[in-house]
Amino acid sequence: MKTILWLREDLRLYDNLALNQAAADGEVIPVFFYPEHLGGASYWWLHHSLSRLAEQFAEHGVTLILRTGDPARVVLKLCEEIGSTKVVFNRVYSSRGMAQGQAVKQALQGADIECQSFNSQLLFEPGKIFNKQGTPFKVFTPFWKHCCAQLQPPAPQAFTTLKPVGDQPDSEQLSDWGLLPTRPNWAQGLADTWQPGEAGAQQRWQEFLNDRIQGYKEGRDFPEREQTSLLSPHLTFGEISPRQLWHDTQEAMASGLVDASNGNKFLAEIGWREFSRYLLVHFPQIETEAFNQKFADFPWKNSAKLLKAWQKGETGYPIVDAGMRELWHTGYMHNRVRMIVASFLTKHCLVHWQSGMDWFWDTLVDADVANNTASWQWVAGCGADAAPYFRIFNPILQGEKHDKLGVYVRRWVPELKKMPNKTIHQPWTADEETLAEAGVKLGKDYPRPIVDHADARAEALAAYQAIKSSS
């Protein structure tokens, strides 16, 4: 049998359920369609991930087919070209992904072509998880407790062999897709930081599991430490299976190689990834609307000037600026700092969370519809299980607590590298002598704060209180 394997967010060979089924059926024809909705950093990653995947398939004598167009129409045409009577794919849990999957199934059904879909992206099937009242969970903790108590993810599976099709169908060239930036090439920092592809994902995972996971529970909150897994972009593009992460961690805890506090904390973070997709399945409107409808009338100021200063890392608050510059250079930002910069934009600047979400979508290599939507709404206070409206991160205290010695700030805001620890997170409070010794002239070498923390906090609280009172 000739089986078409429609690849989407599953760019790997190991523990790829749709691939395993295609391999078991007979000849495998993997196909990937040009996605028209990614951001710039994600396109850079996709180019390299597809290049690596094509090499992996080639080692088995299989050609990765690239096509442009509507998947429902082109898959059906491809079936006619090669005489295939079956298509398999892994489900994508977003509005766009689910709609595309349904459209392909309907098109193939009308042509009497068999179609199978699989859950190879998540530990648990979102459509089968409900609370005792039979309704979807809206709070993470009971959701995750239910999943862990009631369900057990299947063990990861490997294919045995891949059999190529005799006559290879035509393929577009990856270089013709123009996924890489050219003028200018802003991606050198990404190239210096990341190794896209399944091999890079497995290397990151082994480094983390064998070393950095110890101390993860506490260390993950300190951006100057390399304590996190750095797996998020690999998970976004499906270069590594969450089932492998789950079972490898469970085995490491059972053998005593990883203590339970760190292992379970890491698995809980994988749980947040599950919860974000779960919310999209049951509440798809949150991709464009606030989960809490009270926020439909929130008095956002939406200052273009404040938004631009935030995007450029020129807010005058060092921990915020460090995060935004790390993002631009590497396509990534430490999770603690993501919360700080998101809180600053939405609560200090009163800029709509969608503006921040759009910027992250274009600049993050791990840009993900579910995580991006859920996380921005969580910080803004309008999402499911959201941070309370009155929780407004103080960027000064956050910097002093999570970057006590200013290591992270000095790395990404080098103009402040000579500032003493006492004032590294609030340079505007330093006296003239201290600033002169550090070679810093406020307003020239480094900006003054674009908003006053106390005033901005008071204004934000008043705005949040106003919508609370009107409900």
448 plus 360 within the same structural domain: yes
Give Cβ neighbours of residue 455 (< 8 Å, ≥ 6 apart): none
In whole angstroms, what separates CA 330 from the centre of its chain?
Answer: 14
Question: Does residue 116 contact residue 22 with C-beta atoms inside 8 Å?
Answer: no
Is 191 inside any structural domain? Answer: no
What is the C-alpha to C-alpha distance for residues 228 and 233, in angstroms, rounded to an integer?
13
What is the C-alpha to C-alpha distance for residues 138 and 292, in angstroms, rounded to an integer?
11
Question: Does residue 69 contact residue 33 with C-beta atoms inside 8 Å?
Answer: yes
115 plus 129 within the same structural domain: no
148 plus 65 within the same structural domain: no
Burial of 362 (0-12, 13-18, 19+ CB in 10 A): middle
The H or E element that residue 28 is part of is strand 27-33
Question: Does residue 123 contact residue 38 with C-beta atoms inside 8 Å?
Answer: no
128-133, long-range: CB within 8 Å, 24+ apart, which pairs? 129/278
Give the CATH number, domain containing residue 137: 1.25.40.80
Task: State the residue range of the domain holding 59.
Answer: 2-121
Give Cβ neighbours of residue 251 (< 8 Å, ≥ 6 apart): none
Is 266 inside any structural domain? Answer: yes
**The pair of three-digit structure tokens given for residue 255, joined into one six-digit string:** 């053998």
Burial of 269 (0-12, 13-18, 19+ CB in 10 A): middle
Per residue of the chain (471 residues), give pLDDT as tens: 999 999 999 999 999 999 999 999 999 999 999 999 999 999 999 999 999 999 999 999 999 999 999 999 999 999 999 999 999 999 999 999 999 999 999 999 989 999 999 999 999 999 999 999 999 999 999 999 999 998 789 999 988 899 988 888 999 999 999 999 988 889 999 999 999 999 999 999 999 999 999 999 999 999 999 899 999 999 999 999 999 999 999 999 999 999 999 999 999 999 999 999 999 999 999 999 999 988 888 999 999 999 999 999 999 999 999 999 999 999 999 999 999 999 999 999 999 999 999 999 999 999 999 999 999 999 999 998 876 777 899 999 999 999 999 999 999 999 999 999 999 999 999 999 999 999 999 999 999 999 999 999 999 999 988 887 665
Annotated catalytic residues are 269, 272, 300, 335, 353, 376
The H or E element that residue 329 is part of is helix 318-330
Is 168 inside any structural domain? Answer: no
User: Tokens 């190991």 map to which residue?
Assistant: 14
Question: pTM (2 decimals)?
Answer: 0.96
228 Ramachandran zone, left/alpha/beta (phi>0; psi -120 to 50):
beta
Domain boundary among 121, 141, 170: 121
What Cα–Cα distance (Å) separates residue 121 from each residue in 9, 251, 270, 388, 442?
Answer: 8, 21, 12, 30, 48
CA atoms within 13 A on the CB side of 117: 18
7 plus 73 within the same structural domain: yes
Domain boundary among 121, 137, 170: 121
106 plus 128 within the same structural domain: no
278 plus 326 within the same structural domain: no
Give the CATH number, domain containing residue 397: 1.10.579.10
Bond before 299 cis per omega within 30 degrees: no
What is the C-alpha to C-alpha distance for residues 367 and 362, in angstroms, rounded to an integer?
8
> What is the number of domains present in the chain?
3
In whole angstroms, what separates CA 149 from the centre of its chain?
Answer: 26
Q: What one-character DSSP code corresponds to residue 350?
A: -
> Which is it for strands 27-33 and 86-90: parallel, antiparallel or unpaired?
unpaired
Cα of first residue to Cα of last residue in the chain, in angstroms, is: 60
Structure confidence at residue 470 (pLDDT):
62
35 plus 107 within the same structural domain: yes
Is 421 inside any structural domain? Answer: yes
Instruction: Give, in degrees to the nearest 5, the angle at Cα 309 between 179 and 347.
Output: 105
208 plus 80 within the same structural domain: no
Domain boundary among 282, 301, 326: 282
Paired with 30 in beta bridges are 5
Is 188 inside any structural domain? Answer: no
133 plus 117 within the same structural domain: no
User: Other C-beta atoms within 10 Å of 284: how many?
Assistant: 15
Is 355 inside any structural domain? Answer: yes
Structure confidence at residue 471 (pLDDT):
54
114: phi then psi, degrees, rounded to nearest 5: -70, 140
Paired with 168 in beta bridges are none
The H or E element that residue 105 is part of is helix 95-110
What is the C-alpha to C-alpha distance for residues 24 and 286, in angstroms, rounded to an integer?
38
Give the CATH number, domain containing residue 35: 3.40.50.620
460 plus 407 within the same structural domain: yes
Question: Does residue 205 contact residue 231 with C-beta atoms inside 8 Å?
Answer: yes
Give Cβ neighbours of residue 150 (< 8 Å, ≥ 6 apart): none
Is 335 inside any structural domain? Answer: yes
Is 159 inside any structural domain? Answer: no
262 plus 325 within the same structural domain: no
128 plus 57 within the same structural domain: no
